Amino acid sequence: MSVGHGVTTDSLAGLIHQQSGVLVQRCYQCGKCSAGCPAGHEMDPAPSVLLHLLQYQHPESDKKVLSSYSIWLCLTCHTCISRCPMEVDLPKVMDVLRAESLHRALVHPRAKDIVAFHKSFIDTIRNFGRLWEIGLIADYKLRTRHFLQDVVLAPVMFHKGKLSLLPHFQSRFVNRIFSGLQKREEQES
Ligand code: SF4
Ligand code: SF4
């Protein structure tokens, strides 16, 4: 079945449209997003090339996108969408791609630490209602075993009041968001 612009529901482009409302087929490959992307020099494929691969709607090109390192380098800075003449919301596309990459176990091996940080960050918000830096760092170091990395920065940050020893109070509102998301996931699976 097609959702418009030739995008089929069983392709990755179809999933992106379903979850974010973005039609990747609108991209006409001007390259402005890639030219302005602050992480573009590290990305291979570049953001516009990722969109081109998605437009093929072929299982092989979809797999190439989901197993790319590029999707984990996106900083969600929104420079691309501010430059895009077709208002293709690339940050939203990247969000769907990262979730789907995790779901299909296609995460690029070099993205291991980024994924660990992502999980530690989400768990801290889930458990404490807002960011607790020391909890986040401890959880990240346990996941990655990078116990000594950046350790000299801790006293400086603590001295400047950037690290709080105790977490903030748990927010029921945030808990409700996570419970709602979990229920929706269960209904969809
Ligand atoms: S700027 Fe927009 S139209 Fe141009 S390549 Fe990027 S996503 Fe496509
Ligand atoms: S949001 Fe991501 S893809 Fe877009 S310019 Fe920023 S880093 Fe690049």
Q: Does ligand 2 lie within 6 Å of residue 78's CB atom? A: yes
Two structure tokens written together for 178: 């996570």
Beta partners for 2?
A: 8
CB-CB contact of 92 with 80 (8 Å): no
CB-CB contact of 119 with 143 (8 Å): yes
Pocket test for ligand 1, best of 54, 84, 87, 93 (most atoms within 8 A of CB): 84
Cα–Cα distance, 144 to 141 (Å, whole number): 5
Q: Does ligand 2 lie within 6 Å of residue 49's CB atom? A: no
Ranges of each domain in the chain: 12-107, 110-188
Is the pLDDT at 161 greater than 90? The verdict is no
Q: What is the mean pLDDT of the chain?
A: 88
Task: Determine the pLDDT at residue 58.
Answer: 95
Is the pLDDT at 151 greater than 70? The verdict is yes
Task: Determine the pLDDT at residue 49.
Answer: 97
Is the pLDDT at 45 greater than 80? The verdict is yes
Instruction: Give the number of whichever ligand sits closest to the CA of residue 40.
Output: 2
What is the arithmetic mean of pLDDT over 51-56? 97
Cα–Cα distance, 157 to 120 (Å, whole number): 19
Instruction: Give the number of whichever ligand sits closest to the CA of residue 78.
Output: 2
Pocket test for ligand 2, best of 27, 33, 79, 96 (most atoms within 8 A of CB): 79
What is the arithmetic mean of pLDDT over 96-104? 94
CB-CB contact of 135 with 167 (8 Å): yes
- Ligand 2, atom 6: nearest CA belongs to which residue? 77
Give the global pTM: 0.81
Q: Does ligand 2 lie within 6 Å of residue 31's CB atom? A: no
Task: Determine the pLDDT at residue 99.
Answer: 92
Alpha helix positions (H), 104-148: 112-128, 133-144
Which amino acid appears at position 58 of this protein?
Answer: H
Closest CA to 93 of 20, 11, 181: 20
Task: Determine the pLDDT at residue 47.
Answer: 97
Selected residue with higher pLDDT from 33 and 176: 33
Cα–Cα distance, 54 to 17 (Å, whole number): 11
Ligand 1 centre and the CA of 176: distance in Å?
A: 36
Task: Determine the pLDDT at residue 40.
Answer: 92
Instruction: Give the number of whichever ligand sits closest to the CA of residue 77.
Output: 2
Cα–Cα distance, 123 to 120 (Å, whole number): 5
**Segment 84-99, tens digit of pLDDT:** 999 999 999 999 999 9
